Amino acid sequence: MNKIQGITAAGLLLFSCILSGRTQLNYDTLKYDSSPQDQIQIKEVNLLNSDELKIGSIVEGIGTYELESTDKALLGLSITSSEKGGKHCPEAYESQEMANGSGSFRLLREIDRHGSFHLSVYPETQMGHYGQSTTRLYFLELK
């Protein structure tokens, strides 16, 4: 899929979710491993296309961040799972670039497996790629 098709698919997904309404979810911080200089704070977690947390539902995470450990990083919404299956290919709406300082985020993730939802910070390396995550916030689990 080229970049334009990806943007179009993401736009259609967002539009369909907006039409169907939101269901706000209760969540807890299950585990928080953080670089001392960086912070992630979740303000709201919603289901966009369902009122039940299940395979096929779309989860929306809204919040703020403080990035001080590096100039640039990638923030991603992921699911860690012990289920066997194909590798997940991230969509554009599941991550966003972060710049040093404060910012906000709104990320979406379609549930394709049971597991633990988390936000992760991946600092940019000297080669211009994103390295191993330095900060992880686990906040929701689908068993």
- Give the dihedral sign, CA 90/11/40/22: negative
The yes-or-no verdict on residue 14 having pLDDT over 60 is no
The yes-or-no verdict on residue 43 having pLDDT over 90 is yes
Q: Encoding tokens for residue 11?
A: 């736009």
The yes-or-no verdict on residue 90 having pLDDT over 80 is no
On whether the pTM is more than 0.85, the answer is: no
The yes-or-no verdict on residue 7 having pLDDT over 80 is no
Which letter does DSSP use for residue 94 in this model? Answer: G
Question: pLDDT: is 43 or 4 the higher one?
Answer: 43
Query: What residue spans of 1-131 are helical by DSSP H?
Result: 3-20
The yes-or-no verdict on residue 3 having pLDDT over 50 is no
Element (H, E) at 116: strand 115-123
Whether 93 and 7 have beta carbons less than 8 Å apart is answered as: no
The yes-or-no verdict on residue 56 having pLDDT over 50 is yes
In CATH, 3-142 is 3.40.50: no
pLDDT digit string (tens) for 110-131?
Answer: 999 999 999 999 998 877 778 8
**Confidence band, pLDDT 50/70/90 cuts, at residue 13:** low
In the chain, where are the structural domains located?
3-142
